[in-house]
Amino acid sequence: MSEGWTRLHPLSPVVRLGRAAIAIFVLLLPAVFGGNIARDYPQLGVVALLGLIGFVNWLVTRWRIDGDDLRIETGVLRRQSLRYPLKQVQAIDIVRPGLARMFRVAELRLRMGGATGGTARLAYLNEREVEPLRARLLALAHGGEDAEAPTPEEDDREEVLATLPTGRLVASIFVSDVGIVAEAVLLGLVLGAVFAPSAAGGIVGGGTAEIVGVATLLWRRFNQEYHFSLARGTDGLRLRGGLVALSAETVRPGRVQAVRMVEPFIWRRLGWCRLELDLAGRQRRKGEDETTGRQLRALLPVGSRALALELLELVVPDAPQPTERAPRRVLWKSPLRYRFLAWGRSDRAVVAQSGRIRRVTVWLPLEKVQSLRRVEGPLQRRLRLASVHLDTAGRALHATLRDRDRSEADAALSALIPLARAARRAPP
Amino acid sequence: MLDSGPDWRAPSPRLLTMRRLEVAAITLVVAIALFVALVFVSVVGAVIALVVALALGGLLELFVERRVHAWGYAEREDDLFVRRGVMFSRLSVIPYGRMQFIDVTAGPLERLFGLATVRMHTAAAASDARIPGLAADEAARVRDRLAELGEAQAAGL
């Protein structure tokens, strides 16, 4: 199946410039509304140059589906011809930033697996073309496993598994660990402003970057997870959500490398938790684009434990519970972690629980284990303890059976090696 | 047993010689630099610094010996076992089917001693498995054997 080359949407450069485009618009206003052209000449030059670069970039970028590959050609001075094998696609996302929604365009993002895997981005395409193209690419990606491509009508059947009420999202952000710290700081500042206005002013001045950083973090969480919904379709789990920037992601359950359940301090009292999953892909690198290297994707941004365990069963079948507690002497080494340290296993998956203030539980399907390690530090040796690590090809997660009795660690390692081998060889 | 047995092999004895030389060279350079820097200030101080630096170097030599002896590897039926480290002792288990590629590197000093380092890569960045200080022919044998086993047992992501 091949076809001719296609260009991206003509408005792509404008959207790609994003916030800069708005700034440029503001910059241009005085020139347009009776400003002095001579005085604004340099600004106009910069704008024209940026526009020209964007336009040329758009002109030389084209893409096509070539058999089992997606090919993208781009670049003027350094011509690049990129080839993305569709068989290695881990997930296909549709991302729509605020500006893209205004212009009715959307970005298609293909997450690739493998050691060289990166992200193939088609930014931007017409909104109407995106859905059919995504379905087609997914069908091609499935090609190797099931030749039957899902027809559009079939594709529309889906079962909603979870939705997130806005009230709960807001409440959960307010009582999350970061949220509580932010509120405490804010309270301190207000009190400070009342009792010692000059000192508070100094604090705000000095900590502006931090304050903005925390606010951005909280806002981003709200922006991403507003109106979140999780549904099961024929092609996998569909995750949707967003306030200003909409995103729609499709995850194939067999591609999940690890699942993590996070329970911050206050959430635990309310019986809430957050379920996140990790897919194969390049490990996060320094300087990587903020949005592609962002945190793990949430399968359930906030919800009850019971619902989370139900969803967990979808992505990690036969998930065990952490039943094996750590020996008491671990209190000497990790007094805060001790109460959470536990692990468990079934024939197909392993679970490890840890955390100091937050309780963090990681599930790993054994067929995804890449390598195993037993590590013994100096303090651990004194206490006859050892940790067992299980590595996956995921971006961020790996399971650590931390601080086990030495003999137990050896027994666990000896048991997990053949289990992982069997899981790897068994048909999925 | 997991980390001992007749099938465990050790790096070449030349690795210890090489590491010892490295430590000795660094110790000497540091000791002489300290001596020269201090001799114009106080001769006694300079001599003390020299002695302390040499003593530390001697201690380091002992530690290096333990570190080199901690390295070991075993080719089992389905997995490669690599052990390393004195303070933090590690035992890595890498299934042959998970190896994506293997590379053999030899730095200038290693080449002088006829040694090479074999490094195994899996899809996980955390599983860093390397065996340093293999004699060049042993390194080539290990590489070919691992590549062959990896091919036979390759598994998808």
The answer to whether A241 and A228 have CB atoms below 8 angstroms apart is yes
- What pLDDT score does A243 carry? 85
- Asked if the C-beta of B126 comes within 8 angstroms of chain A's C-beta atoms, the answer is yes
Checking if the pLDDT of A7 tops 70, the result is yes
pLDDT band at B64 (very low <50, low <70, confident <90, very high): very high
* CB-CB under 8 Å, B100 with A425: no
Least confident of A100-109, A148-157, A187-196, A250-259: A148-157
Residue for token pair 């503001």: A26
Checking if the pLDDT of A288 tops 50, the result is no
Segment A229-265, tens digit of pLDDT: 999 887 788 888 888 878 888 888 888 889 999 999 9
* CB-CB under 8 Å, A421 with B78: yes
Helix/strand/coil (H/E/C) assignment for every residue in chain A: CECCCEECCCCHHHHHHCHHHHHHHHHHHHHHCCCCCCCCHHHHHHHHHHHHHHHHHHHHCEEEEECCEEEEEECCCCCEEEEEEHHHEEEEEEEECHHHHHCCEEEEEEEECCCCCCEEEEEEEEHHHHHHHHHHHHHHHHCCCCCCCCCHHHHHCEEEEEECCHHHHHHHHHCCHHHHHHHHHHHHHHHHHHHCHHHHHHHHHHCHHHHHHHHHHHHHHHHHHCCCEEEEECCEEEEEECCCCEEEEEECHHHEEEEEEEECHHHHHHCEEEEEEEEECCCCCCCCCCCCCCCCEEEEEEEEHHHHHHHHHHHCCCCCCCCEECCCCHHHHCCCCCCCCEEEECCCEEEEEECCCCEEEEEEEHHHCCEEEEEECHHHHHCCEEEEEEECCECCCCEEEEEEEHHHHHHHHHHHHHHHHHHHHCCC
Checking if the pLDDT of A328 tops 70, the result is yes
Mean pLDDT of the A333-361 span? 93
Domain ranges of chain B: 14-68, 72-153
A228: closest CA of chain B, how far (Å): 29
The answer to whether B80 and B150 have CB atoms below 8 angstroms apart is no
- Asked if the C-beta of B155 comes within 8 angstroms of chain A's C-beta atoms, the answer is yes
- Asked if the C-beta of B91 comes within 8 angstroms of chain A's C-beta atoms, the answer is yes
* CA max distance for chain A: 82
- pTM of the predicted model over 0.80: no
- Asked if the C-beta of A30 comes within 8 angstroms of chain B's C-beta atoms, the answer is no
- Asked if the C-beta of A370 comes within 8 angstroms of chain B's C-beta atoms, the answer is yes
- Asked if the C-beta of B154 comes within 8 angstroms of chain A's C-beta atoms, the answer is no
Segment A366-400, tens digit of pLDDT: 999 999 999 999 999 999 999 999 998 887 888 99
Least confident of A35-49, A284-298, A358-372: A284-298
* CB-CB under 8 Å, A371 with B127: yes
* B119 or A15, greater pLDDT: B119
- Asked if the C-beta of B57 comes within 8 angstroms of chain A's C-beta atoms, the answer is no
* Mean per-residue pLDDT of chain A: 82
- Asked if the C-beta of A392 comes within 8 angstroms of chain B's C-beta atoms, the answer is yes
The answer to whether A263 and A273 have CB atoms below 8 angstroms apart is yes
B132: closest CA of chain A, how far (Å): 18
Question: pLDDT exceeding 70 applies to what percent of chain A?
Answer: 84
A240: closest CA of chain B, how far (Å): 26
State the ipTM, two decimals. Answer: 0.88
The pair of three-digit structure tokens given for residue A383, joined into one six-digit string: 């206490």
Segment A20-53, tens digit of pLDDT: 777 777 766 666 666 555 566 676 777 788 888 8
* CB-CB under 8 Å, A371 with B122: yes
- Asked if the C-beta of B2 comes within 8 angstroms of chain A's C-beta atoms, the answer is yes
> What is the SS3 assignment for B132?
strand
* CB-CB under 8 Å, A391 with B89: no
**Residue B6 CB: number of other CB atoms within 10 A?**
6
Pairing of strands A371-376, A385-391: antiparallel
pLDDT band at B88 (very low <50, low <70, confident <90, very high): very high
Checking if the pLDDT of A282 tops 60, the result is no
Least confident of A13-22, A322-331, A333-342, B62-71: A13-22
Q: Which residue among B87, B98, B155 places its CB closest to the CB of A371?
A: B98
User: CA–CA separation, B103 vs A370, rounded Å?
Assistant: 18
* CB-CB under 8 Å, A398 with B92: no
* CB-CB under 8 Å, B126 with A371: yes
Checking if the pLDDT of A312 tops 80, the result is yes
Q: Which residue among A113, A255, A373 places its CB closest to the CB of B91?
A: A373
CATH of span B72-153: 2.30.29
